[in-house]
Amino acid sequence: MPPARLPVAILGATGAVGQTFIRLLSNHPWFRVAEVAASDRSAGKRYADATKWIEGSMPPEVADLIVTTCDPSAVQSKVVFGAMDAVAAADAEPAFAKAGRFVLSNTKTFRMHEDVPLVIPEVNANHLALLDAQHAKGWSGGVITNANCAAIVGAMALAPLHAKYELSEVFMATMQAVSGAGYPGVPSLDILGNVVPYIGDEEPKLEREMQKMLGSVSGGRIADAKFVVSAHANRVPVEHGHTVVLSAKFRTKPSVADAIAMLRAWRGEEIVRGLPSAPEHPIVVTDDPARPQPRRDVMAGNGMTVTVGRVREDSIFHLKLVAMGHNTIRGAAGCAVLNAELLAVTGRLGWTPPGRG
Ligand code: NAP
């Protein structure tokens, strides 16, 4: 008998990110989707009837699951992946955490709460220490949240450089895919052949979340990294993949060659290596002056690798570069699954994954 996979639930399972969870977990060696939950509109229906499946074919094992409400009394799993509407998450996610469940969330709702970690496992796995502060306020489970999807792409590209040279100022402009707006998302007549230079509430997230992710943890709190960010967010007619152009100034100026070498050598935190969803290289650096491109590079590392290119001198800041990553995989569902794997190998789930006993 192969060892049993852990049953898990997806909140917001019918949406764009929820469907990405279903795809990523379909053949996952440790986790098995046992429960799917969404709004009252979907509850009580077969998953296949409640869901407008967006990409490829729906994995057959989920089609007959009955959708429940996003309520801990209706969902039994200890690991709960969150892809809900942000307003609905405000009540649901703490209710799950109080009931002893671990919520791997994607919503903006709790990102800036001081006891909620924004974890990119390769960058800041030690931020899971904030879960102790959640336990101290009476939650026997916890909430771990992903940052904004474009902020994750930017933070990954900057993390290896910040660790050595320390950021002081960042300018960024994003070109964000339509799948970042969920389903059905942006009306086709607004986006086909067009660029929309505004994404509601996006720039404030880009300007404050990277400092938390790249901050240091001590005494159960995060001290934000001390740099300022100016961000422009644009929606572009690309299906998947957020492209982020970055100019950065550091407390110590790196040479272009040293920065490229550092990005190339970076593998992220040791504990993450070999986890089922961890790419061998969290960052790859391309020498092609016309890359990264979403069409060609978005599935690098099964959607978990951020591709960096065009690292060069900046005439105002020190360095500029282009980073591109998959918004619903590295920027959402894939990062959350990797976070759940991290919880498992750090013993926080009280469950030993197959092959790790
Ligand atoms: P979406 O396609 O609009 O899906 C929203 C999901 O939330 C659906 O499953 C929907 O269920 C459910 N929902 C809506 N109202 C609800 C309620 N009152 N109670 C319970 N469930 C409710 O959105 P998405 O793009 O998947 O995004 C999901 C979350 O992830 C959002 O908070 C978003 O900001 C965040 N996020 C998205 C991306 C991305 O690239 N798309 C990246 C990072 C983070 P019904 O089908 O029943 O309405």
pLDDT above 90 as % of the chain = 97
Measured by CA distance, the residue closest to atom 46 of ligand 1 is 14
Residue 354 within a domain: no
Distance from the alpha carbon of residue 123 to the mean position of ligand 1, in angstroms: 26
Residue 344 above 90 pLDDT? yes
- What is the phi/psi pair of residue 119, to 5°? -105, 125
| Contact yes or no for 63/39 (Cβ under 8 A) | no
Judgement on whether residues 220 and 107 belong to the same structural domain of the protein: no
pLDDT recorded at residue 356:
85
Judgement on whether residues 16 and 48 belong to the same structural domain of the protein: yes
Measured by CA distance, the residue closest to atom 28 of ligand 1 is 83
The CATH number of the domain holding residue 291 is 3.30.360.10
Distance from the alpha carbon of residue 251 to the mean position of ligand 1, in angstroms: 39
Tell which atom from ligand 1 comes closest to the C-alpha of 50.
46
CA angle 310, 311, 314 (to 5 degrees): 110
* Mean pLDDT (whole number) for 170-196: 97
The residues that are catalytic are 149, 242
pLDDT recorded at residue 223:
97
Number of H helices, E strands in the chain: 12, 14
Calculate the average pLDDT of the chain.
97
Residue 199 within a domain: yes
Residue 99 above 90 pLDDT? yes
* Mean pLDDT (whole number) for 29-43: 98
Strand partners, 246: 172, 321
pLDDT recorded at residue 58:
98
pLDDT recorded at residue 220:
87
* Mean pLDDT (whole number) for 2-29: 94
Tell which one of 11, 21, 39 to mutate to probe ligand 1, the residue whose CB is within 8 A of the most ligand atoms: 39
HSE toward the beta carbon, residue 49, CA cutoff 13 A: 10
Distance from the alpha carbon of residue 267 to the mean position of ligand 1, in angstroms: 31
Distance from the alpha carbon of residue 169 to the mean position of ligand 1, in angstroms: 33
Judgement on whether residues 91 and 168 belong to the same structural domain of the protein: no
Residue 268 within a domain: yes
pLDDT recorded at residue 234:
98
pLDDT recorded at residue 111:
97
The total of structural domains in the chain comes to: 2
Per-residue confidence band for 2, with pLDDT thresholds at 50, 70 and 90: low
Per-residue confidence band for 246, with pLDDT thresholds at 50, 70 and 90: very high
Per-residue confidence band for 355, with pLDDT thresholds at 50, 70 and 90: confident
pLDDT recorded at residue 77:
98
Residue 13 above 70 pLDDT? yes
- Classify each residue of 191-220 as buried b or exposed e, where b means 16 or more C-beta atoms within 10 Å of its C-beta: beeeebeebeebbebbbbbbbbbbbeeeee
* Mean pLDDT (whole number) for 99-122: 97
**119: part of which helix (H) or strand (E)?**
none
C-alpha–C-alpha distance, residues 114 and 212, integer Å? 10
Residue 183 above 80 pLDDT? yes
Measured by CA distance, the residue closest to atom 5 of ligand 1 is 15
Measured by CA distance, the residue closest to atom 4 of ligand 1 is 15
Judgement on whether residues 163 and 89 belong to the same structural domain of the protein: no
Q: Which residues line ligand 1 (CB under 6 A)?
A: 12-18, 38-39, 41-42, 70, 83-86, 88, 106-107, 149, 179-180, 182-183, 327-328, 331-332
Tell which one of 14, 46, 85 to mutate to probe ligand 1, the residue whose CB is within 8 A of the most ligand atoms: 85
Distance from the alpha carbon of residue 36 to the mean position of ligand 1, in angstroms: 13
Judgement on whether residues 192 and 121 belong to the same structural domain of the protein: no
C-alpha–C-alpha distance, residues 336 and 303, integer Å? 13
Distance from the alpha carbon of residue 56 to the mean position of ligand 1, in angstroms: 19
pLDDT tens-digit series, residues 282-328: 999 999 999 999 999 999 999 999 999 999 999 999 999 999 999 99
pLDDT recorded at residue 3:
66
pLDDT tens-digit series, residues 118-166: 999 999 999 999 999 999 999 999 999 999 999 999 999 999 999 999 9
Q: What is the DSSP string of 130-162?
A: HHHHHHHTT-SSEEEE---HHHHHHHHHHHHHH
| Residue-number span of the structural domain to which 179 is assigned | 149-327
C-alpha–C-alpha distance, residues 97 and 134, integer Å? 9
* Mean pLDDT (whole number) for 215-224: 94
Judgement on whether residues 46 and 100 belong to the same structural domain of the protein: yes
Measured by CA distance, the residue closest to atom 41 of ligand 1 is 180
Residue 245 within a domain: yes
C-alpha–C-alpha distance, residues 100 and 78, integer Å? 7
pLDDT tens-digit series, residues 256-285: 999 999 999 999 999 999 999 999 999 999
Per-residue confidence band for 357, with pLDDT thresholds at 50, 70 and 90: confident
Judgement on whether residues 337 and 281 belong to the same structural domain of the protein: no
Tell which one of 87, 106, 205 to mutate to probe ligand 1, the residue whose CB is within 8 A of the most ligand atoms: 106
Judgement on whether residues 73 and 165 belong to the same structural domain of the protein: no
Residue 221 above 70 pLDDT? yes
Residue 213 within a domain: yes
Tokens 């200890």 appear where? Answer: 78
pLDDT recorded at residue 36:
98
Judgement on whether residues 69 and 92 belong to the same structural domain of the protein: yes
C-alpha–C-alpha distance, residues 309 and 287, integer Å? 7
The CATH number of the domain holding residue 66 is 3.40.50.720
pLDDT recorded at residue 1:
58
Residue 357 within a domain: no
